[in-house]
Amino acid sequence: MDWIVSVADAGQKLLAPFSLLLSAWLGYLVYRATKTAPVEAARVAENLRRGSAQEDERARLKFDCLRRIAGHRAISPSPEWLAALNEVFVVFNDAEPVMRELAKFERTIRATGGHRNEELVDLIKAMMNDLRLSRELIDDEFLLRPFGGVAPGV
């Protein structure tokens, strides 16, 4: 039995420097995490804030584009209306339903030299959906009959 005790003592003596090294390494990791945690937290918070500001700006651009399309739809075709239509593919590029309706609208214009009002309405509705604007009280007829004029189209 003495030999077991002597082997255990030898193992303990052999592993003692490694346990000291392991303890020092863990201490360093705790120190490093404690020292860098506030810096990392600030970096993450800044990235979240920046991302939120970019999302807010993108939503503002989308809303402005829709506002100009809806606001100038009675004047056929005003420069403001055409400029807003030309911006749709940029500001709504992340919205596949809007891009689909824009492509359909553009194909009709290219093929016929004009557009059908229903396709303009579909585009406006897709834009409103992307912006989560309620259409509960607004039907297609409302979108086709702007105040102060006749909607552009064939």
> 88-119, pLDDT tens digit by residue?
999 999 999 999 999 999 998 888 877 678 88
Q: 154 in a domain, yes or no?
A: no
Number of domains in the chain: 1
| 2 or 83, higher pLDDT | 83
pLDDT of residue 154: 41
Concatenated DSSP letters of 42-63: HHHHHHHHHHHHHHHHHHHHHH
| Weakest-pLDDT range from 1-10, 80-89, 130-139 | 1-10
Task: Say if 120 falls within a structural domain.
Answer: yes
Q: Which residue has the higher pLDDT, 143 or 92?
A: 92
What are the tens digits of pLDDT across the range 11-42?
Answer: 566 666 667 676 777 777 677 767 777 777 77
CA 120 vs CA 16, 35, 97, 103, 144: distances in Å: 79, 57, 13, 11, 9
pTM of the model: 0.63
Of the candidates 38, 35, 34, the residue with the CA atom closest to the CA atom of residue 46: 38
Please report whether residue 18 resides in a domain. yes
The SS3 assignment for 154 reads coil
Q: Provide the residue type at 2 as one letter.
A: D
Q: Does residue 149 lie in a domain region?
A: no
Domain that holds residue 13: 2-144
Higher pLDDT, 57 or 12: 57
The label of the residue with tokens 């607004």 reads 138
41-63: average pLDDT: 81
- Within-domain flag for 132: yes
- Residue 109's pLDDT is 84
Check if the beta carbon of residue 88 is closer than 8 Å to that of residue 104: no
Q: Does 150 reside within a domain?
A: no
Is residue 153 situated within a structural domain? Answer: no
Neighbours of 122 (CB within 10 A): 20
**Does pLDDT of 136 surpass 80?**
yes
